[in-house]
Chain A
Amino acid sequence: DAGVIQSPRHEVTEMGQEVTLRCKPISGHDYLFWYRQTMMRGLELLIYFNNNVPIDDSGMPEDRFSAKMPNASFSTLKIQPSEPRDSAVYFCASRYSGGRYNEQFFGPGTRLTVL
């Protein structure tokens, strides 16, 4: 099992540019979560999907942020335009609702730096 895969692992971009972060959940998992981690705010849930449908996006900070899940094995988080305050580590996590526990499995994260 490859676990949750995220790409890229590191991204450095300039303010105003579009940034796309990618996530491949564990095969068979029907929930997918996007988190952001910063020193100031800790770990924050941005949005989560169930069976590819966005369920709660109340954590998405602004309209500049958007997330999609076109199929069960792929999701993107897009920031357009990016700003320096978006610099953070973005984590994707997935879980299987049929399991006994509500354990979420995390990817290694994408460290985003916006200059």
Chain B
Amino acid sequence: AQSVTQPDIHITVSEGASLELRCNYSYGATPYLFWYVQSPGQGLQLLLKYFSGDTLVQGIKGFEAEFKRSQSSFNLRKPSVHWSDAAEYFCAVVHSNAGNMLTFGGGTRLMVKP
């Protein structure tokens, strides 16, 4: 069965600092990978997705993620964090052959210090 691990439950960074949120997946075939962000009291918003091709994908709000098959990772990065980036971030994977079942990681809560 596929699974997604986000090793960091909480991360605190200073505003303006760089950010990297880790995501590891366990899935035999080519995965479809996603990063979602959830602001307090809100639903989930898609930041970016990877299906094939260029392993470095750009998303909204200045985020990017890199797919590394050899490491089974899809880490999310941002070069300079803004206070408004404080939220919870979820990595997710879906069956490439089923296309329906999104499996989410446990989430990483990001706090931004002024």
Q: What is the interface of chain A, defined by CB distance below 8 A to chain B?
A: 4, 31, 33, 42-43, 45, 48, 50, 55-56, 91, 93, 97, 100-109
Question: Which among B34, B36, B42, B106 is the interface contact of A42 at CB below 8 angstroms?
Answer: B106
Question: Which among B90, B102, B105 is the interface contact of A45 at CB below 8 angstroms?
Answer: B102
* Bound: A97/B105 CA distance, A: 23
* Binary contact track B22-61/A, C-beta < 8 Å → 1, others 0: 0000000000101010000011111001010000000000
> Can you list 24 A-B contacts (CB < 8 A)?
A4-B43, A33-B102, A42-B104, A42-B105, A42-B107, A43-B90, A43-B104, A43-B107, A48-B100, A50-B100, A56-B100, A91-B43, A91-B44, A100-B51, A101-B49, A101-B51, A102-B99, A102-B102, A103-B34, A106-B43, A106-B45, A108-B42, A109-B42, A109-B43
For the complex, would chain A's binding face be called helix, strand, loop or mixed by DSSP majority? Answer: strand
For the complex, would chain B's binding face be called helix, strand, loop or mixed by DSSP majority? Answer: strand
Q: What is the interface of chain B, defined by CB distance below 8 A to chain A?
A: 32, 34, 36, 42-46, 49, 51, 90, 94, 99-102, 104-107
Q: Which residues of chain A have C-beta atoms less than 8 A from B101's C-beta?
A: 45, 48, 56
